[in-house]
Every structure is written in structure tokens, then in C-alpha cells.
Amino acid sequence: MGLKDKNVIGYLIPNNVLSVSIISIFAALICVLTMIISIPIPATQGFINIGDAGVMFTGLIFGPFIGGIAGGVGSALADIFLGYVIYAPATLIIKGLEGFLIGIIANPKYYYKKLNYRDFLAVGIGGLTMVFGYFIYEVLLWGFASALYEVILNGIIQFGVAGVIALLLIVGVRKTIVQSFPQVFDKIFITKETENSEQEKF
């Protein structure tokens, strides 16, 4: 089987032990980050947290599949553990989509070596997806006024703080991690160098 038979847009489907292990580890990390600082919002029975930093970081370093699955599962588990069960189904979808979009846009399989405009665009679109995803869900649950109140908090605090944390982490560690563990990332995505060497065989 060639590369085109093993991947989707350059990212390997996470069906091997290593990928599943990474998803589990980062889902747990996202869950902990979400729970460690949780500020309740009585108007919507929700809470502000920094778990999005973990979702963003995971998408920026591992790409869409691991970012999406770990982001959705880890965040939804935190909702359940903290007693916000009503949000868990929406969180699974919203945070999963956030991580997936960030991974797609940032495209770390090609652009992991340095921070670039794609990372900022990815964090911006992913963060806005989270903010407006919850806004729509909360309008259905609590009405427009309550949902609008949380949009401001999500947009300014949760999105803003998480984005800064994730981008700062990427500046310091992404290139080092990817290049230090090629045997790991060979099972996650296909770098430009690997793709070129594969094409040279034919």
C-alpha cells in the first residue's frame, strides 16, 4: 500500500496503538486542564476554564484527528466529572470540531518547524468555533440574553487566554518534539520530507 492508501490529507487514521495512546494521554491532559480552573457562570449553568489551551495545543502539534478526538473526549469528560452533564454532548461536538479545525488549518505535517500565520488563523477560527458553538447551544437552553453574557466571557477570557498559552507552547516545543520523536510522528502524519522520499521511489 502506498501513502495515498494509508492516510487522509496526509494524516494517518489513528487506528494504531501509539495513536490511541496519544489520544488517551492528551484527552486526560485536556480533562485535567479543564477541571483545574473552573469558574462557574450561574446565568448559563456553565463555567469558564483553560481547557481550550490543551485542545488548541493538541491540534497544533498532532493535527486534526488526534486534536479533534482528544479535544472532544477530554473536554466532555471534564463536564461530566464537574457535574455539568447537560453540556457534555455539546462539548464533545464543539471541542472536537475546534481541535479538528485547528489541526486542519495549522497543518503541522508541513508547517511544524516554526510559528507561522496558519497557527494564528487556526487558533482564531478554532476559538471562534468554540465561542459560537456554545452560544447556539445556550440560546436553545437558556435564551439569548444568558447566552450572550457567556459569549463575552468565553470570547475574552477562555478563548483569549487559551490561545496565548497554546501559541507560546508551540513556539517553544513543537519543532523539538516532532524532530526528536520521528518514530512517533511517522505513525501520526506524513511530513513533506517523507512524502518527497516516497515519491522518489516511483
Q: Is residue 116 assigned to a domain?
A: yes
Q: Kindly report, residue by residue over 136-157, the tens digit of the pLDDT.
A: 999 999 999 888 887 887 777 8
Three-state DSSP class for residue 15 = coil
Residue 202 lies in a domain: no
pTM of the model: 0.92
Residue 9 in domain: no
- pLDDT for the residue numbered 1: 44
Does 49 fall in a domain? Answer: yes
Q: Is residue 37 part of a domain?
A: yes
**Residue 3 maps to a domain:** no
Q: What's the CATH code of the domain at 171?
A: 1.10.1760.20
Distant-in-sequence, close-in-space partners of 176: CB < 8 Å, separation ≥ 6? none
1 belongs to a structural domain: no
pLDDT tens, position by position, 29-57: 999 999 998 888 887 788 889 999 999 99
pLDDT digits (tens, 9 = 90+) for 152-187: 877 778 899 999 999 999 998 999 999 999 999 999
The alpha carbon torsion through 98, 103, 173, 23 (nearest 10 deg) reads 80
Domain count, the chain: 1
Domain of 50, in residue numbers: 15-196
Q: How far apart, in Å, are the Cα atoms of 190 and each of 11, 21, 98, 177?
A: 6, 19, 22, 15
| Confidence check: pLDDT of 199 > 90 | no
Portion of the chain with pLDDT greater than 70, in percent: 92
Residue 104 lies in a domain: yes
State which amino acid sits at residue 194. Answer: T
* Tens-digit pLDDT profile for residues 69-104: 999 999 999 999 999 999 999 999 999 999 999 999
